[in-house]
Each structure stands twice: as C-alpha cells, then as structure tokens.
Amino acid sequence: MGDEGLEVVDERQASGQSRRIDGVVIGMLVGFSADGEPVVAFPGNAVESGVGARTAVKLSSDDIGCELALMFEGGDPVRPLVMGRLHRPDAPPQEPRRITAEADGERLELRADREIVLRCGRASITLTRAGKILLRGAYLLSRSSGVNRIKGGSVQIN
C-alpha cells in the first residue's frame, strides 16, 4: 500500500502557530533558568518573561541586559539559538554593575542600580529605581489578620 492518501500536517500549523523566523534577530539576555539555560527576549516573542535558548557562546550573569544575535532552529520562534553577543566598539566602557546582597540570618537585602526582579513562572515582582513596585501574576491575593490599608496620591480600581 502507498501513502498517496496521507497528508502530513506541521504541528505548528495544526495548532495555529504558522509563524516562522528566518535570518538573524537581535534580542536581549534577560537571565538564566534554574538549570543555567539562557533566557532571551526578542521583538515579537509570545512569552513576556523570555524564552529558554541554546547557546553557541559562553554567557554569564555579567551579560544580562546585553544584545544578542539570535537564530531559530528550523525557524521555530520557541527554539532560539544564541549565536553571539553584540559589541559596540564606539560605545563608552560600561561601569561594572553594582549588585549586592547582604544576609544576617534574619534579613536579606538585595541592592541594584536600576531594578530588581523576582520571577517564578508567570508571577513577578519588580522594584525600579524610580520607586515603582510592579506586581504581575495570573492571580493576586492580599490577606491580613489586621488592617489592610491602601494609601496613595490616588487609588484606581479597574
């Protein structure tokens, strides 16, 4: 018997994801996963927190925030491959990033020049230099055994 009547369907087309990325895309290293895999963001990526990537070059935490040259395995936007880090020869040398952590068993203090992000899955807490605190998540709960106050110059609900 032949295969004349069989139709091969691409899994991405079946799920409605027919988007393909060819060529080099400029992205950014946003961090590392728990197992050390680089996490990258690029224009048009569907995942706000970034996508796990394979890499052809060595990357470290000093590279977070740097621009990267990305390609995609089979053109698939969920399979980025870091080809290299972009360097700007005319740019002034960057100051070393000042990130400090202090712990004494009762208190943990993290300090950074621009922002601190705590992320777990789809939830994140971002502290910015301008004094903003951004809470993001699929579900937020505020619970208190005492008074639960909301104070501000203005309070907007919906």
The domains of the chain, with CATH numbers, are 20-85 (2.40.50), 100-136 (no CATH)
pLDDT tens-place values along the chain, 158 residues long: 444 443 433 444 444 455 788 889 999 998 888 888 999 988 877 776 788 999 999 998 888 888 999 999 988 888 999 999 988 777 666 666 677 778 888 888 888 888 888 888 888 999 988 889 989 888 988 899 999 888 888 888 87
Q: How many whole angstroms separate alpha carbon 139 and alpha carbon 7?
A: 42
Nearest Cα to Cα of residue 79 among 71, 89, 68, 87: 71
AA letter at 147: V
Q: How many whole angstroms separate alpha carbon 19 and alpha carbon 80?
A: 14
What is the Cα 102 distance to its own chain's centre? 25
Q: How many whole angstroms separate alpha carbon 51 and alpha carbon 31?
A: 10
Contact 51, 45 (CB under 8 A): yes
